[in-house]
Amino acid sequence: VAAVTGTLSGAPGRFARGLRELAPGTWAWLQPDGGLGEANAGLVCGDGASLLVDTLWDRRLARDMLDAMEPHTRGAPIRTVVNTHSDGDHWWGNAEAPADAEIVTSEASARAMRRDVSPRELALLQRLLAVAARLPGTAGAGPRRSRDAFAPFDFGGVRQRRPDRTFSGTTTLDAGGREVRLVEVGPAHSAGDAVVHVPDARVVFAADVLWVGVAPIMWAGPVDNWLRAIDTLLELDAEIYVPGHGDVGTRADVERVGAYWRWLTVRAREQHAAGRGRMDAARAILADDGYARWADWAEAERIVANVDALYRGFGGRDPVGARGPARLAIMRDIAALGAERASPRASA
């Protein structure tokens, strides 16, 4: 297998792609730059058995990862797979895992997986974006951005293999004699987020409640749950935090995400009180001097989704979060704002 070092679209990555050893028998699988579908995974190898955390978005990505892990799993086959949550980029590769491995996720994530968008629907979306991308000028700018972001992924051959076992709250798994703890912290990013703690390695696979170098996105909420999840992450006995997207981080990265949510909640409340829609609110908040603290994060435009989720919380609406057409509409707005920020003059 030829080593792919950069992002999936071929650009040079901001961090190295592939396996990174975090502690003895404990690896992260990293996909720069942590953008759409560029999800991370993890491997915990024990005595004669291993545990895999998440399986990426399509067959090829899952196969490449499992091939790279093979030297480690040859003597310790993957017996358990954890799906941290219901977004496809964390579980649609399940069918590539060993057939006899048991797949575990939270009950809330299992429910969300059943009602979420299917691979066929995403493949259809890719074709629609290719058409919309031909619209001239700014009308096509958002679709072109989305088309390019989805381009590295092939949903055609994805067979959805659903988890075998669910849990609620916390549960403890065994990886060849090593303890692995699952802690449900959702709904926050998604309906049923769970984080994976490996106490003997002082490592946490924090899934999509942690993002490093890239803006977080809140599909579910409420934000108070996300802030509680941040506290939970900091209370675990750990020093290495693998985000769902982005480079491997530390406690400081966890705290930074918490600070983002606290600041954004205040700003979004002001925008909500002023009666501004989510797009105008997002523009105003990104232009605020206070945002400079997170200006190094990629994909700042995701703030549209976060404003929308916060607005829903202020209005006491829909605790389950945005899905289906509402989610697609938010993705369209994110792409439009991203295109606008990429060429501010063209859209002025």
- Summarize as ranges the residues that interact with Zn ion (CB under 5 A): 39, 87, 89, 208, 244
Q: Closest approach of Cβ 77 to Zn ion, in Å?
A: 26
For Zn ion, which is the closer residue by CB, 84 or 271?
A: 84
For Zn ion, which is the closer residue by CB, 35 or 142?
A: 35
Q: Residue 247 — φ and ψ, nearest 5°?
A: -75, 160
For Zn ion, which is the closer residue by CB, 87 or 333?
A: 87
For Zn ion, which is the closer residue by CB, 96 or 208?
A: 208
Beta bridge partners of 53: 42, 82
Query: 235 with 199: CB under 8 angstroms?
Result: no
What tokens does 288 get?
A: 């605020």
Q: Closest approach of Cβ 271 to Zn ion, in Å?
A: 26
| 104 contact partners, CB below 8 Å, separation of at least 6 | 80, 81, 82, 83, 163, 164, 165, 166, 167, 171, 173, 182
Strand order in the sheet with 165-167: 18-23, 26-30, 41-45, 50-53, 78-82, 102-106, 165-167
Q: Closest approach of Cβ 214 to Zn ion, in Å?
A: 10
Nearest to 41 by CA among 197, 243, 330: 243
For Zn ion, which is the closer residue by CB, 59 or 178?
A: 59
For Zn ion, which is the closer residue by CB, 79 or 245?
A: 245
Q: Closest approach of Cβ 336 to Zn ion, in Å?
A: 21
Q: Closest approach of Cβ 188 to Zn ion, in Å?
A: 13
For Zn ion, which is the closer residue by CB, 225 or 271?
A: 225
Q: Is 171 helix (H, G, I), strand (E, B) or coil?
A: strand
Q: Closest approach of Cβ 85 to Zn ion, in Å?
A: 8
- Chain mean position to CA 300: 15
Q: How far is CA 310 from CA 72, 212, 230, 307, in A?
A: 43, 21, 17, 5
Q: Quick count: other Cβ atoms within 10 Å of Cβ 20? A: 16
Q: Closest approach of Cβ 112 to Zn ion, in Å?
A: 13
